[in-house]
Amino acid sequence: DGGITQSPKYLFRKEGQNVTLSCEQNLNHDAMYWYRQDPGQGLRLIYYSQIVNDFQKGDIAEGYSVSREKKESFPLTVTSAQKNPTAFYLCASTWGQGINPNSPLHFGNGTRLTVT
Amino acid sequence: QQQVKQSPQSLIVQKGGISIINCAYENTAFDYFPWYQQFPGKGPALLIAIRPDVSEKKEGRFTISFNKSAKQFSLHIMDSQPGDSATYFCASKGSNYQLIWGAGTKLIIKP
């Protein structure tokens, strides 16, 4: 089955450590996205990538970094500079040129990161 | 920053009843309005979506009503079932790669 795989499902880190969240898709989608979800808030865009070797900042990119070396992979690094990193992180993808009725966002099942 | 205002924050409906969730947007240039359904511990999944050139779209028990002049759209779930218990998010397309999301509505259907 095609889909997006996020791993691990739960991640625990000590404050001050960088941590990398994995996102892999086998949908052959061109664009990939990282969102952050906090209780009582809508999803907030961290970074997105339209094509390999290119990515753009979203609304809350500070303290995060990404890479897109392969079409199917878009890892997110939460750095120690991120002031409040504990959250549910969602990876998504779309086919073609962005979000539209023929290419809706398709999400993975998320990684819950807890930093203490 | 552009916003999408979603209400209510939480909603309890009896089995068989109608669940209604409302959203209001600000920018008349938005041209795509999806609703996503999210179960605990899972990612959101597209439920139904509408473009502003139609006033209503129905898929099974789920209907979107769209009021362009009022800049509002709503999700109606007919004959609500316990399996519909989830968090629902409305969104508006802000740009090619950006959706602007409502804060979510936690829906509980009581048996």
Q: What is the pLDDT of residues B47-76, one digit of tens each?
A: 999 999 999 999 999 999 999 999 999 999
- Tell which residue, A74, A39, A38, has the closest CA to residue A59: A38
Contact A42 B101 (CB under 8 A): yes
- Give the pLDDT of residue B84: 98
Choose among A101, A104, A109: nearest Cβ to B42. Answer: A109
Average pLDDT for A64-79 = 97
Interface of B with A in 30-49 (CB under 8 A): 32, 34, 36, 41-46, 49
Q: Is the pLDDT of residue A97 over 90?
A: no
Average pLDDT for A89-102 = 90
Choose among B34, B96, B97: nearest Cβ to A104. Answer: B34
The mean of the pLDDT values for chain B is 95
Contact A110 B42 (CB under 8 A): yes
Average pLDDT for A5-13 = 95
Q: Is the pLDDT of residue B41 over 80?
A: yes
Q: Is the pLDDT of residue B26 over 80?
A: yes
The single-letter code of the amino acid at B34 is: P
Find residue A91's DSSP bridge partners.
A34
- Give the pLDDT of residue B36: 98
Q: Is the pLDDT of residue A40 over 90?
A: no
- Give the pLDDT of residue A51: 93
The mean of the pLDDT values for chain A is 94
- Give the pLDDT of residue B95: 83
Q: Which of A90-104, B10-24, B34-48 has the lowest mean pLDDT?
A: A90-104
CA A88 from centroid of its chain's CA atoms: 10
Bigger pLDDT: B64 vs A40:
B64
The confidence band for A101, taking pLDDT boundaries of 50, 70 and 90, is confident
Do the beta carbons of residue A108 and residue A4 sit within 8 Å?
Answer: yes
State how far the alpha carbon of B24 is from the alpha carbons of A38, B2, B78, B93, in Å: 21, 11, 21, 13
**Chain B contacts of A49, Cβ < 8 Å?**
none
- Give the pLDDT of residue A6: 97
- Give the pLDDT of residue B104: 97
- Give the pLDDT of residue A100: 86
State how far the alpha carbon of A92 is from the alpha carbons of A84, B72, B83, in Å: 22, 26, 24
The confidence band for B29, taking pLDDT boundaries of 50, 70 and 90, is confident
Q: Is the pLDDT of residue B1 over 70?
A: no
